[in-house]
Amino acid sequence: MKAGVSIVICTYNGEKLLPETLRHIALQQVRPDVPWEVIIVDNASTDNTSAVVREEWKKYDVPVRFSLLHQPKPGLTFARELGYTHAQFEYILLCDDDNWLSADYVTLAFDLMEQNPKIGVLGGYGDLVYEEEPPYFATQVRLFANGHQAPESGKVAKNTVYGAGCVLRKSAYDHLFRIGYQPLLTDRLASALSSGGDYEICYALALLGYDIWYDERLAFKHFMKKERQTWGYYLRYLKESSACFEVLDAYNFLVNQGSRSELDFNYRFLKGFLYYVQESLRLIVKQGALDPASDESKINSLLLLGYKTRLLGYRKYFKVRKNFLRLLQFKNEKLILKVAPKNKSVYLSKELKHNLI
């Protein structure tokens, strides 16, 4: 795979967001030795997204390959897969349709990925920009892709970064699927708020032996429409996005907590359940002492809803266990050391001898 950066923007009804996003891409200050391209994937939009993309990009004289693709199958995962298929470079920069990349983003991402071949996914630093002055609770409860992703730049201990602005090593991603990997999440569908696909890919690549990395110098603005700052949106987000935990918890037990048996899984599952029970009870007690009309009460209510939805997820024990056992089987069958003829031991992939779990 040729070294370079493929910017992939997947969008659903993004006609109002894309002009500013494309303007920031056109303003990229890319060194001459860094090949790059721009790929837009229209994911079953019902507005004038494609027409707006063509019109806006014509305004800029940027000498790079530009592609506008159409994915009729709803779902961010499906849109991204189409973008990956058409990407001609090794480093895929996932730019959301509301992300405004800093001028050095492409060059810095290229340098970091080139200098650190163990990086599977590289995350950046998102800074929220609001269409309107947000209510106080919206500035205190973090739901969106923004802020620091680790105490410092470098390897991320939790093995996940948010998808907005992240950079994916395409050869690593392709290797996953060559050995039989299948994602368990489809990520966001049209206007639905289900999510988690970006975290799943991070976990899968960490399972394969790659590092998940963060660098605060990779800065971008994350534009927040006023519709995403309402109380109703926050409640809906917390309820709908919780569906991904039956998958992500299974990865977390395997990748981060080191579970290697069903017995250990059961122990950690129960431990997690008791933690959320304890925290929920603490917030319930606190809520009773707060003024219902206060900002602090609203913040506490959102946190409590978050814990309650996590507790509801624990009712899906059998689904989480099934996903855990499936991932454990994949690891044991595909990622373990294999014995070659003449007693020579080799890994499935020579490039991944390091850091295999």
Residue appearing with tokens 């395997």:
254
Average pLDDT (192-216) is 89
DSSP secondary structure letter of residue 147: B
pLDDT surpasses 90 at 336: no
Average pLDDT (283-295) is 96
- 39 neighbors 67 (Cβ within 8 angstroms): yes
Q: How big is the CA angle at 206 (ends 352 and 214), to the nearest 5 degrees?
A: 110
**Residue 353 has what pLDDT?**
32
Confidence of residue 187 (pLDDT cuts 50, 70, 90): low
At the topology level, CATH places domain 2-242 in Spore Coat Polysaccharide Biosynthesis Protein SpsA; Chain A (3.90.550)
Tens digits of residue pLDDT in 223-282: 999 999 999 999 999 888 788 999 999 999 999 999 999 999 999 999 999 999 999 999
> What are the sequence ranges of the domains in the chain?
2-242, 250-338
Q: How far is CA 256 from the centre of its chain?
A: 17
Tens digits of residue pLDDT in 6-28: 999 999 999 999 999 999 999 99
Confidence of residue 1 (pLDDT cuts 50, 70, 90): confident
pLDDT surpasses 50 at 339: no
**Per-residue b or e along 58-92, where b marks 16 or more CB atoms closer than 10 Å to that residue's CB:** eeeebebebeebebeebbbbbbbbbbbeebebbbb
Average pLDDT (340-345) is 35
Residue appearing with tokens 């969106």:
144
Joined tokens for residue 81: 């897969």
